[in-house]
Structure 1
């Protein structure tokens, strides 16, 4: 089964970005809504709201503005892939193409930390992009996925693990 060809979003980024948070590929709900982490059960915005003191009822553009003003950028490792549904495990590996991280890191030289939102984002980055960006002085760390599919970890444990993003910005 090949799956449907899907394309990720443009990065959410500003010149002040010091941290880049990478997902693998937006899920069906996110693609439909054209918003990062749009699935209501995804813990990403709840985590960011608590860490950065963002109103949980803020509009999507307000949330993005707050992330950018905090020095956080969002993007996905994959530019395109084929997948049925939203699960990372449904991504057809041989259809993966990566985003252009070399150009991104050249254009945004203040980025010094990359946090992967889950194992698939990290694995895809290592497979497709890491060798191309080895010359940049960037630290990489995988965090637990905020996806509702990663239900084996409590929200509190995820929030605690994600505090490193806030600590990095201090």
Structure 2
């Protein structure tokens, strides 16, 4: 089944862009990034920002990201995929990352949420002397690394927001 991602959440305050692969079924159904209750994204980025984003309603989460200069999108615009796992992605169509980035004058850092996002995103962006690119462990519950191990790596994002 062909699945199409969500619109980017960015504005002229965006200094850090977090890129996933393609939203899972729960996110697509809710039209909200990282909607699966077991996905650690909101707890991880909330920890980076020093806020309990997980406890907030989705619009308030998005607003907090914007205030902090954090944007969200995905590296895959659409793909054939049964279920929600990255391993099931087939015939991906790349998102126009360079087009999006061209409209973000304050952007300094792009971070990839998971291996598929990093692989595809780095392929799309190529070498960029103007941006810092960071690979992160996936926030997905399918990747069983303990939360604290993921958080220790994600915590480095705080340095990019200063």
Q: TM-score range by the shorter chain?
A: over 0.9
What's the counterpart of residue 115 of structure 1?
111
For the residue of structure 2 that corresponds to 1:96, the secondary structure is strand
For these two proteins, the number of residue pairs brought into alignment is 161
Distance 1:100 1:126 in 2: 12
Match of 2:9 among 1, 7, 12: 12
Give the superposed CA RMSD: 1.3
Structure 1: segments with no counterpart, 5+ residues: none
2:131 paired residue among 138, 159, 167: 138
Shift of 1:136: 5.9
How far apart, CA to CA, are the structure 1 residues paired with 2:119 and 2:159? Answer: 24
Give unpaired runs (5+ residues) of structure 2: none
Structure 1 residue runs of 4+, over 3 Å off?
none
Report if aligned partners of 1:54, 1:63 keep a CA contact under 8 Å in 2.
no
Shift of 1:74: 0.4
2:156 equivalent among 126, 142, 164: 164
**Alpha-carbon contact 2:14-2:107 (below 8 Å) kept:** yes
Cα drift, residue 130 of structure 1: 2.1
Whether the aligned pair in 2 keeps the contact of 1:105 and 1:136 (CA below 8 Å) is no
